[in-house]
A and B are shown apart, each in its own frame.
Chain A
Amino acid sequence: MKEILKSCVDKVDDWIELRYHHRRRNSIMARGGRIDTAESIVKAGVGVRTMVDGCYGFSSTDELTETGIMQAVHSAIVNARNLSKLKKRKVTEFKKIPLATEDYFAPGYESLMDMTLQDKLDAVVKMERAGKASSKYITRATCRYSELLEDKIIVTSDGACARQRLAQPEFLLGLIAEKSGVQTTYRNGAGISGDWESLFQHPSIDNVVEKTSGLAVDLLSAGYVEGGKQTVILSPSIAGLLSHEAVGHTVEADFVQSGSVAKDKIGERVGSELVTLIDSGDAPYGENPAAMLTFDDEGVPCREVTIIDHGILKSYLHNRESAALFGVEPTGNARAWEYGVEPLIRMRNTCLAPGARSLDEIIAETKSGVLLEGSGSGQADATGEFMFGVGHAVEIKDGRLGRLFREVTISGIAFDVLKSVDAVSSEFMWDMGTGYCGKGQAAKVDGGGPYIRCRTTLGGK
């Protein structure tokens, strides 16, 4: 396929980017003692992006021959030429940088391909049954396993020519408990880059049935937190969600250009001295985050980006177009969900850097506050205003953990919250690997961090 793509690129005078993308997604879900989903999806095709007169055009094809790809190339050129008549600001010429030329085969791809579906399905059925049987109060259980196995080849007319294979398995257990008309739901799971064994070594899946069941049942008798601004300790999953949703999106360069809160703030203090925020295609801390990749879908090698360095905003996230406009190096953040869509600026693995103190120490010195664990859905705004659901909360009083609370939400302004951070733990975990980011198209991302203590607004019932 690489040779076909190179041959097609050689036939075109304009700038062109060809991306072969083969994706296999196997999904199994057990619910109510039966298999709800047992599905294998395979899609393959080539996405073609061209630039004519400073304007992009895109087309795609599932006909994987030189003839089929060249037809898509011609469509993309026509699309670019037509729209260039309307485009006001032509795309600035890309900075010349070394593009990806080395192949990368992620660990786990071969072994997940070789592993039988029977073994995967057995594990899902067994976990769902164990979850359902774990307590008389557990009335429903769902267990889901899915794996993304991707094979991509990028060839561009300015030098990218590389292939990468990615393996991203994930596992999620959800339990619903009921007692006296009260119902609670709790979920635990993990998504990683790697193989089956590594997935089940993730701390979130360790004793997953006991942990999930225990919390679902305990929350039945939990109270509601007092609303208002409070001192909180955010778990790695919530720190990750905050990093991704409330900060990460505002520093995507396309969103910056539209007027996000991070616009014109490079060099300004946006967090306390303890806050360092990183986005990476690798694992700057911890192991096997879900979005490990060596180059992006423009063929740009993935750089580790320190977005915030000890509280100072240092960098946005870029594709080639925005990097040229801002006069900086592209960061390797252009990603496309499948062959039929063009790459957009997306995050990869986004996290807060760990500190030097233990969680126990931080709790012990907290006179009054709440420990927040496990994230639910989240939403954030161009202004950095955010609102997240939280799995559960535990009262902290005079340095000790106390009552359990349920149905807690947190909200605030991201940079205000980061400025209030006064303690950062040494414990670190990636814990957003079962999540997908949506921005017109999906993207597999991960997020994580240490436990951080800060001030934010809590909402209860």
Chain B
Amino acid sequence: MRSPDELLLKSRKLMEMVKHLGIDTAQVTAVSRRRRRVSLEKNDYQIGSSSDYSEIKLVIHKDFQLGSALTNDLSSDGLRDVASRAVALASTAPRDEKLAFSLPGEIVDLPLASADIAALGSEELLKITRSVFEPVFADREISVDSGSIDVNHVSYCIINTNGVSVSTEVTYLSSMLMGMGVHDGQVTSFDYDWFGSRDLANFPLETRRMMDELTANLKSTFNPRKGESYKGMIILRPEVVNQMLMQVVEFHSHGNALKDNASRWADKLGETVASPRFTVRDDPHNLDYIQAASFDTAGTPTRAHTLIEKGVLKFFMESVDSASRRGTGTTGHENGLVVTRLAGESGDVADLAAQAGRPILSMRRFAGNLNTVTGDFSGVAKNSHMLNDGEAIPLVETMVAGNVFDLLNNIVAVGEARNHRGLMETGPFLVDGVSVSVGG
């Protein structure tokens, strides 16, 4: 495992080599990662693993020609090889005068690394693993297909010829479980969930909570029945909000789509694009979420922003490339939103169902096609239920179809927003305008 300072030294060495090749516009990104993992398969512990891994990536803009190369060989020979491969590619690429790298900016230093997690011993890791997985193994109605507990320690740095020189160190823990419900010869659809945290003390408890919710949902899907076909309201549970709503929102509010004339919201800044119940914030310095970051993958400092406030589009995200091509400034969104927080109201899934006033689909997973450009979606609601008068009826083969832009404008209610698995803040959404069909 290399420290940020060691990576910076290697990066500067590579940058010197590149300069000797006559190239004065380049960027180097170096990453070093240590991961320890306990994996599970087939209702048992499967393999203990550990890996140390480093890599360095060079991007050059030689005479406005793009070339990029990456290696995990950080020796002098490896660095020379990566430089020569990037130059070879750049020598063949057509000129592109809009190529750009990030500019230096003020970085807010965040405490993203924990000495406790970095130093977590094997015995402690096994103890956590046992405490969270043994109750699942003991549950005769759950079959564990796979699962894992990871301890991650990452350092990385970015330098470029514009004067950017940033580095950081991150630690976090993560857990995953995938399994099926099994009972009297029945096997349910598989389901999975994930949790990530930089809080060692709470990690076992929160992982247990994730696994309890997952296994409870699996067991609630025995004896699935056909629901009913209708067009109207459904509930998007927190597990599916990012997939169903935010993929489309992120695409259309990012400069990458704007530069390609693919955004439906290109001329909508300051205008209403969604229901007043819809507010989207990016909160990259919030340490409760594992994606929290001081700078993005281009080295641009991150800042808190409100993308959509009460349905009104307030802000476009920009990468270095989109900003260069659109003549704007980069916003620290090289890969989209960093920490997504969606405003909530009150109540849970049951409260939203009561507001619907009729039997309603509560969707936990969606498998199907979602066209991020048009917003059209069609597919199958999986691991889902029909909620009716306090009863949750497990469903089989339920098709859903609609358009995400319609859903955004037809948000009937939002439940209480909570930290969902350390990934985003959201509540469940009650949305209108979805075709639900029970099939053949």
A interface residues (Cβ-Cβ under 8 A, vs B): 31-32, 34-35, 37-45, 49, 55-62, 75-76, 78-80, 82-83, 85-89, 116-118, 121-122, 125, 139-140, 176, 183, 185, 227-229, 254-255, 257-261, 263, 340, 342, 376-377, 379, 381-383, 385, 387, 389, 407, 409, 411, 440, 457, 459-461
Which residues of the partner chain A approach B260 to less than 8 Å between Cβ atoms?
31-32, 140
Min CB distance A190 to B, Å, is: 22
Question: Which of B93, B123, B374, B437 has the most chain A CB atoms closer than 10 A to its own CB?
Answer: B93
Which residues of the partner chain A approach B126 to less than 8 Å between Cβ atoms?
82-83, 85-86
Question: Which of B86, B188, B376, B378 has the most chain A CB atoms closer than 10 A to its own CB?
Answer: B378
Min CB distance B166 to A, Å, is: 22
Contacting pair B369 A377 (CB below 8 A): yes
Which residues of the partner chain A approach B53 to less than 8 Å between Cβ atoms?
45, 60, 62, 340
Contacting pair A457 B144 (CB below 8 A): no
Q: Does B357 count as interface, using CB distance less than 8 angstroms? A: no
Q: Does B80 count as interface, using CB distance less than 8 angstroms? A: no
Contacting pair B66 A35 (CB below 8 A): yes
Docked complex Cα distance between A347 and B437 (Å):
33
Chain B 143-163 interface mask (CB, 8 Å, partner A; 1/0): 111100000000000000000
Contact check: which of B190, B379, B399 meets A382 at CB < 8 Å? B190
Chain B 350-382 interface mask (CB, 8 Å, partner A; 1/0): 000000000000000001110101101011101
Contact check: which of B70, B144, B187 meets A42 at CB < 8 Å? B70
Question: Which of A82, A340, A382, A461 has the most chain B CB atoms closer than 10 A to its own CB?
Answer: A382
Docked complex Cα distance between A385 and B188 (Å):
10
Q: A58-B49, A61-B52, A258-B143 are in contact. Are A40 and B69 (CB under 8 A)?
A: yes
30 contacts between A and B (CB under 8 A): A32-B260, A35-B96, A39-B89, A40-B70, A40-B88, A40-B89, A42-B69, A42-B81, A42-B85, A43-B70, A44-B72, A56-B47, A57-B48, A58-B47, A79-B48, A83-B38, A87-B45, A117-B89, A118-B91, A185-B371, A229-B440, A340-B53, A342-B49, A381-B367, A382-B180, A382-B187, A382-B189, A440-B146, A459-B437, A461-B376
Q: Does B103 count as interface, using CB distance less than 8 angstroms? A: no
Question: Which of B47, B368, B380 has the most chain A CB atoms closer than 10 A to its own CB?
Answer: B47
Which residues of the partner chain B approach A61 to less than 8 Å between Cβ atoms?
52
Contacting pair A254 B41 (CB below 8 A): yes
Q: Does B19 count as interface, using CB distance less than 8 angstroms? A: no
Which residues of the partner chain A approach B86 to less than 8 Å between Cβ atoms?
40
Q: Does B71 count as interface, using CB distance less than 8 angstroms? A: yes
Contact check: which of B46, B48, B70, B180 meets A259 at CB < 8 Å? B180
Min CB distance B162 to A, Å, is: 20
Contacting pair B45 A40 (CB below 8 A): no
Contact check: which of B47, B67, B89 meets A83 at CB < 8 Å? B47
Min CB distance A54 to B, Å, is: 11
Contacting pair A35 B369 (CB below 8 A): no
How many residues on the B side are at the interface (Cβ–Cβ under 8 A)?
73
Q: A86-B126, A409-B378 are in contact. List 19 more A-B contacts (CB 8 A).
A: A31-B260, A42-B73, A42-B85, A57-B48, A58-B48, A82-B123, A86-B45, A89-B44, A116-B92, A228-B440, A254-B41, A258-B41, A258-B146, A259-B180, A261-B187, A379-B367, A382-B145, A382-B180, A457-B440
Min CB distance B67 to A, Å, is: 6
Which residues of the partner chain A approach B378 to less than 8 Å between Cβ atoms?
407, 409, 459-461
Residue of A nearest to B46 (CB): A56
Which residues of the partner chain B approach A407 to less than 8 Å between Cβ atoms?
369, 371, 376, 378
Contact check: which of A34, A86, A118, A229 meets B92 at CB < 8 Å? A118
Contacting pair A39 B68 (CB below 8 A): yes
Contact check: which of A56, A85, A183 meets B373 at CB < 8 Å? A183
Min CB distance A150 to B, Å, is: 15
Within 8 A of A (CB), among B397-440: 397, 399, 401, 437, 439-440
Q: Does B43 count as interface, using CB distance less than 8 angstroms? A: yes
Contact check: which of B45, B96, B401 meets A461 at CB < 8 Å? B401
Contacting pair A258 B43 (CB below 8 A): yes
Residue of A nearest to B189 (CB): A381
Contacting pair A457 B182 (CB below 8 A): no
Docked complex Cα distance between A45 and B137 (Å):
35
Min CB distance A33 to B, Å, is: 8
Docked complex Cα distance between A81 and B94 (Å):
55
Docked complex Cα distance between A63 and B370 (Å):
43
Which residues of the partner chain A approach B371 to less than 8 Å between Cβ atoms?
185, 407
Contacting pair B187 A259 (CB below 8 A): yes
Contacting pair A82 B122 (CB below 8 A): yes
Q: Does B130 count as interface, using CB distance less than 8 angstroms? A: yes
Q: Does B50 count as interface, using CB distance less than 8 angstroms? A: yes
Min CB distance B85 to A, Å, is: 4
Residue of A nearest to B129 (CB): A86
Q: Does B268 count as interface, using CB distance less than 8 angstroms? A: no
Contacting pair B45 A55 (CB below 8 A): yes
Docked complex Cα distance between A368 and B129 (Å):
56
Contact check: which of B72, B96, B189 meets A34 at CB < 8 Å? B96
Which residues of the partner chain A approach B55 to less than 8 Å between Cβ atoms?
43
Min CB distance B257 to A, Å, is: 11
Question: Which of A89, A229, A411 has the most chain B CB atoms closer than 10 A to its own CB?
Answer: A411
Which residues of the partner chain B approach A82 to less than 8 Å between Cβ atoms?
48, 122-123, 126
Docked complex Cα distance between A461 and B434 (Å):
11
Contact check: which of B129, B180, B397 meets A385 at CB < 8 Å? B397
Contacting pair B369 A376 (CB below 8 A): yes
Q: Does B179 count as interface, using CB distance less than 8 angstroms? A: yes
Q: Does B76 count as interface, using CB distance less than 8 angstroms? A: no
Contacting pair B69 A39 (CB below 8 A): yes
Docked complex Cα distance between A229 and B68 (Å):
49
Within 8 A of A (CB), among B6-39: 38
Q: Does B262 count as interface, using CB distance less than 8 angstroms? A: yes
Contacting pair A62 B49 (CB below 8 A): no
Contact check: which of A62, A116, A176, A461 meets B73 at CB < 8 Å? A62
Min CB distance A129 to B, Å, is: 10
Min CB distance B262 to A, Å, is: 7
Min CB distance A262 to B, Å, is: 10
Q: Does B54 count as interface, using CB distance less than 8 angstroms? A: yes
Residue of A nearest to B403 (CB): A461
Which residues of the partner chain A approach B73 to less than 8 Å between Cβ atoms?
42, 44, 62
Which residues of the partner chain A approach B335 to less than 8 Å between Cβ atoms?
none
Which residues of the partner chain B approach A43 to less than 8 Å between Cβ atoms?
55, 70-72
Docked complex Cα distance between A31 and B123 (Å):
51
Q: A183-B373, A342-B47, A382-B189 are in contact. Are A41 and B69 (CB under 8 A)?
A: yes
Which residues of the partner chain B approach A139 to less than 8 Å between Cβ atoms?
261
Contacting pair A259 B182 (CB below 8 A): yes
Contacting pair A411 B81 (CB below 8 A): no
Which residues of the partner chain A approach B292 to less than 8 Å between Cβ atoms?
none
Min CB distance B29 to A, Å, is: 12
Please list the 5 inter-chain residue pairs (A to B) with the smallest Cβ-Cβ separation, ordered nearest first: A79-B48, A58-B49, A83-B48, A229-B440, A258-B145
Docked complex Cα distance between A122 and B144 (Å):
49
Contacting pair B71 A42 (CB below 8 A): yes
Contacting pair B52 A383 (CB below 8 A): no
Chain B 116-147 interface mask (CB, 8 Å, partner A; 1/0): 00000011001001100000010000011110
Docked complex Cα distance between A379 and B82 (Å):
38
Docked complex Cα distance between A257 and B144 (Å):
10
Which residues of the partner chain B approach A383 to less than 8 Å between Cβ atoms?
187-189
Contacting pair B89 A387 (CB below 8 A): no
Min CB distance B119 to A, Å, is: 16
Contacting pair A38 B93 (CB below 8 A): yes
Residue of A nearest to B53 (CB): A340
Residue of B nearest to A117 (CB): B92
Min CB distance A327 to B, Å, is: 16
